Structure 1
Amino acid sequence: MTAGGSTSREAARLRAAARRGWWRTLLRWFGVNATDRRLEAAAVRQEQGSLGEQQTAALLARLPAGWTVFHDLAVPGRRFNLDHVLIPPSGAGMVVLDSKKWRRTWETTLVRGRVHCGPQDRHQQIEAFAGYVSGTAAALGVPAGMLLPVIVVHGSPVAGGRLDVAVPEWERTVHVLAADRLVDVLAGMPGGRGPVQPAAVALAARVRQVLPQYGSAA
């Protein structure tokens, strides 16, 4: 599945829900459409998320040879999807990558240890993502330390190009990167260049075995 597929489908579902049913048509006729507006706003957020995932996929195509890249994976027993899962040529762990598309006129910064985009506190999303990564490690049966949680932000400039965010509740550090830093940071990590090692092949096989495409039959 291509990047952003599940979020695009969810946006279409929300828009269909906003237009379905005789009672919604009647409410719109009377000018009472708060539910429709909420559904439309949710659909827009999903579409922005899908666009961010597609932009990330285009960047990941520039990684050095030897990287294995998965998009839009499910974690069995969990109600979330993984935007991107990456395995470097060395096979020394994997990167779980989440795409965000935030307002371009607001800067993404740390305020008293919490991630903000402009005036909005977005730290809950960071904490949730750390939890997703921990759940993914448990599903794969590997130590949590093998998984590197990274969020790439499109649109909003990231202060300094990179934020290393402590999430004590999950005992994880989440790395928040500007989109233009993503490929260089990944390629420059230990094991990010070189021939594909057996550990990488085995780890990729484990991902294929355990993490199905999101929305596919288990």
Structure 2
Amino acid sequence: MTAGGSTSREAARLHAQARRGWWRQVLRWCGINTTDRRLEAAAVRQEQGSIGEQQTAILLARLPAGWTVFHDLAVPGRRFNLDHVLVPPSGLGVIVLDSKKWRRSYQGRPCLTALVGGRVHCGEQDRHEQIVKFAGYVSGAAAALGVPAGMLMPVIVVHGSPVAGDRLDVPVPAWERTVHILAADVLVATLAGMPGGRGPVKPAAVDLAARVRRTLPQCGSAA
């Protein structure tokens, strides 16, 4: 399974939409087509997202033996995808992992990912709604899998922007979730060091991985 595939396809679609049509080309030449600029900006964000997902996939390949890792999964009946889904060898639960590629700096100033007044910021930008939305995605994934919500752990890995203390634990009361935000540098060590992160593969892990494979098709597949 290829990480970032659906994000990359969405970026290509937005680029094509921004460039389609003779009149749009004229307006763009005149420098007054704001719709195209918004589409191109959205495409760039999607491209950055795809790069982040690919960087995460490289890191996840370093996990100890026994982990099952899925990339770019769809949730039937939902309009979102999951960047990465992981089952540890213990089978104690499922980690739903979202990749973010945020700016390291902006206009010469560093962009630290940190909690400001209880909300997640990257530099001066409030990114908290992205955290809340992701918690909702994880709840939707639990419902699709038919498992208790507590079996799924929401984790966000941030590339680019440093994370204060390498880790933030962010409560999302609306979803009864704590979203864990990790710096990319500590992702593998944190996952491998969690309870059940090392050791032989238990039958529960085999069953959970089979449930994920059966329930959540890869984006773009015919399943």
TM-score (norm 1): 0.98
Matches within 5 A, 1:1-218: 1-105=1-105, 106-218=111-223
Shift of 1:22: 1.8
- Whichever residue aligns with residue 143 of structure 1, its letter is P
Q: How far apart, CA to CA, are the structure 2 residues paired with 1:96 and 1:189?
A: 15
Paired amino acid for 2:79:
R
**What's 2:108 paired with?**
none
Inter-partner Cα distance in structure 1 for 2:102 and 2:29: 34
Shift of 1:29: 3.6
Per-residue CA shift, 1:131-182, capped at 9, x if unaligned? 0000000000000000000000000000000000010011000000000010
- What's the TM-score, normalizing by structure 2? 0.96
Match of 1:144, as an amino acid? A
Amino acid at match of 2:201: V
Q: CA deviation at 1:68?
A: 0.1
- Could you tell me how far apart the structure 2 residues matched to 1:116 and 1:98 are? 17
- Per-residue deviation at 1:216? 2.2
Amino acid at match of 2:58: A
Measure, in 2, the Cα distance between the counterparts of 1:81 and 1:192.
Answer: 25
Across the aligned residues of Structure 1 and Structure 2, the Cα RMSD in angstroms comes to 0.8
Separation of aligned partners in 1, 2:37 and 2:30: 14
The number of aligned residues is 218
Q: Which runs of 5+ in 1 are unaligned?
A: none
Distance 1:38 1:29 in 2: 15
* Gap runs ≥5 in structure 2: 106-110
Amino acid in the other structure paired with 2:27: L
Q: Residues 57-100 of structure 1, C-alpha deviation per residue, up to 9 Å, x if partnerless?
A: 00000000000000000000000000000000000101000000
Identity of matched residues, % = 83
Alpha-carbon shift at residue 26 of structure 1 (Å): 2.5
Measured in 1, the distance between the counterparts of 2:135 and 2:46 equals 20
The secondary structure found in structure 2 opposite 1:109 is strand
1:114-146: CA deviation from partner (whole Å, max 9, x where unpaired): 100000000000000000000000000000000
